[in-house]
Each structure stands twice: as C-alpha cells, then as structure tokens.
Chains A and B, each alone.
Chain A
Amino acid sequence: MKTLTQRKGHKSLRPEAGWAPLLQNSIVDVFDIMLASRLQPADPPDPPLAADFTSMVGLAGDLCGVISFHCRASSAVSITSKMLGMEVQTFDETVRDAIGEICNVVAGNFKAKVTGIVNECMLSVPSVICGSDYKLYSIVDGERVEVAFLFEGEPIWVTLDLNN
C-alpha cells in the first residue's frame, strides 16, 4: 500500500531541518503574543516528568497525528492568569479551557508554518487531561518530536506524534 506522500508524488513531507524548529517557533510565538512571556529553551525533562495538565489537538489530512502540550499545575494556573489578565488560584474549568486553547493555538500556528510543506491539514477541537497519575502512550507508528522550554522557571513541553 502506498503512503499518502507517495500517492501525492512527494519525496517526503518532512521539512529539511525537521519538525522541531517549526514546533519550537510556534510555541515561542504563541507565548510571546498571547502571554507576553519569553520562553527559555530547555532540554526535554529526563527522566520524563509527570504532567498535571496535558492538552491534545489532532491533525488530519496530509499530516496525521497529535500535538500535545504538557505542564505542571503551577504553570497551568500562571498561564491562565496571564491569558485572562487576572490572578487565578483554583484549578477549575477555566484552567482546563486555557490549557486546551494554548494547545489549539500552538497547533494552528504550527499548521500555518507547515503550509507549503503539506497541502491539507485539519485540526480537531482540543481535549484536556488533568491529574498526574496517568501515562500517555502513542500508538502511531511514526516520528515523535519533543521540544521543551522553561516558563517562569518551570518546564513546559510539547510533543508531536506523527502517523506514517
């Protein structure tokens, strides 16, 4: 069976420098414009940290997979406060909404950056997981990219899991 890429006659959907720089730029742009926050580049947490909040947006079309945004509870609250322009102290629906929207906008920004590399890419509405007692397994058999930053000294990280 031919892959989508082969059917469309492209040699590869992968940009020359890989997906990571595009993903990094998307996250930096979103935090800079929406939150007026300058992120510090960091290595992905090793050993992996358990995130308190994970939000996910699905990609469908020429590029299939999932973009996931992960952060600790303290970062989630701080991100929400910055988005609203007011102090938030409780972990309620507003925080889940904010973290879902961050992933949504990062995915949209990433999609805009890959236009020209992929012909068509649709986004799902975001889903959010709260709590640290879970593991997220990707069952797609493809490339995985993980980029990380420090936001106010705390790690945030984004993964892109692509389906072959």
Chain B
Amino acid sequence: MKKIKVLIVDDSSVMRKMVERSLRQAGVNISEVFEANNGMEALSLVRQNALDLVLSDINMPVMDGLEFIRQLQAVDSARGVPVVMITTEGSASPMGEALLFGARGYITKPFTPDQIKEQVFPLLEG
C-alpha cells in the first residue's frame, strides 16, 4: 500500500490522536497527517493539500461534519477523495445524510483499529 496523506477532523485533539494511532495500528501507511478542529478548518486544508483520505466527526462547533461534507462536493481538488465519518451519532438519520453527500462509510465511537481497517482499506485499495 502506498503512503497516504490523511486529514482528521474532530473538535477533540485527543480523539484526533486516537484516530491517527488506530490508523497506524490498522496498518495504514501514512506519510502526513493534517488535523482540523471543525469543518471550516478542514475545507481550508482540503483546498491547500492533495489528500488521499478524510476522516471526519459530525458533531462539531463552527461547522459540523455534515455541512463540511456538503461543501466538500464543490471543491475540485477533493473529487474522488474518500471521506469516512467517525462519530458518536450512531443514529441512521445523520449517517444517511452523510452518505447522500458523498461519505463512503462511517465508524461509530468507540472504535477499534480493526473497525478502522475494515472501513478504510477497501477505499484505499479501490
């Protein structure tokens, strides 16, 4: 697997570190990690960097994950970049909305590295 650039979006810095650690434990080969506190910061990073994968929380201040993924559709450089939602919101409604806006999958907190692997690997291989 080639080395990838990942963007992790979560308003908790501890959770961002946990996601990064789980990705590495799952065997994802990471060359660079970008971090954003909310959707607004994430959009700015997406416009400035060529990314291979985005993992985003939903429930965040300033701009939530649903609005982020909705606006991401209009960013040319993000076309084809897989987005996976990572959230405490296990209910069907926000997940359905995220999938409609182009999310390729979702992971519910708390998660294990195996759950990350299950969601992320097929996206990186395909």
* A113 nearest CB neighbor, chain B only: B90
Main secondary structure of the interface of B (DSSP, over half): loop
How many A residues, CB 8 Å from partner? 25
Main secondary structure of the interface of A (DSSP, over half): helix
Identify which of B11, B13, B90 contacts A115 (C-beta below 8 A). Answer: B90
Which B residues are CB-close (under 8 A) to A84?
14, 17-18, 21
Asked whether A65 is an interface residue with its Cβ less than 8 Å from the other chain, the reply is no
Q: In the complex, are the beta carbons of A108 and B21 less than 8 A apart?
A: no
Q: In the complex, are the beta carbons of B13 and A108 less than 8 A apart?
A: no
Interface residues of chain B, those whose CB is within 8 Å of chain A, are: 11-15, 17-18, 21, 59-61, 87-91, 108-112
Identify which of B12, B89, B111 contacts A101 (C-beta below 8 A). Answer: B12
Cα A25 to Cα B90 with chains together (Å): 16
Which B residues are CB-close (under 8 A) to A83?
14, 17-18
Identify which of B18, B88, B112 contacts A123 (C-beta below 8 A). Answer: B88
* 10 interchain residue pairs of minimum CB distance: A108-B88, A112-B90, A33-B110, A34-B110, A98-B14, A101-B12, A105-B109, A97-B14, A30-B110, A83-B14
Cα A43 to Cα B91 with chains together (Å): 31
A sample of 7 cross-chain residue pairs with beta-carbon separation below 8 angstroms, ordered by A number, consists of: A33-B110, A34-B18, A84-B17, A97-B13, A105-B109, A108-B87, A109-B110
Cα A106 to Cα B72 with chains together (Å): 30
Asked whether A29 is an interface residue with its Cβ less than 8 Å from the other chain, the reply is yes
Which A residues are CB-close (under 8 A) to B87?
108
- Would you give the 0/1 interface string for A86-104, flagging 1 where the beta carbon is closer than 8 Å to chain B? 0000000110011011001
* B91 nearest CB neighbor, chain A only: A115
Known A100-B12, A111-B91, A112-B91; contact A123-B110, beta-carbon cutoff 8 A: no
Asked whether A68 is an interface residue with its Cβ less than 8 Å from the other chain, the reply is no
Name 16 extra pairs, CB < 8 A, besides A101-B14, A121-B91, A123-B88: A33-B110, A34-B18, A83-B17, A83-B18, A84-B21, A104-B12, A104-B88, A105-B88, A105-B110, A107-B88, A108-B108, A108-B109, A109-B88, A111-B90, A111-B91, A123-B59
Which A residues are CB-close (under 8 A) to B18?
34, 83-84
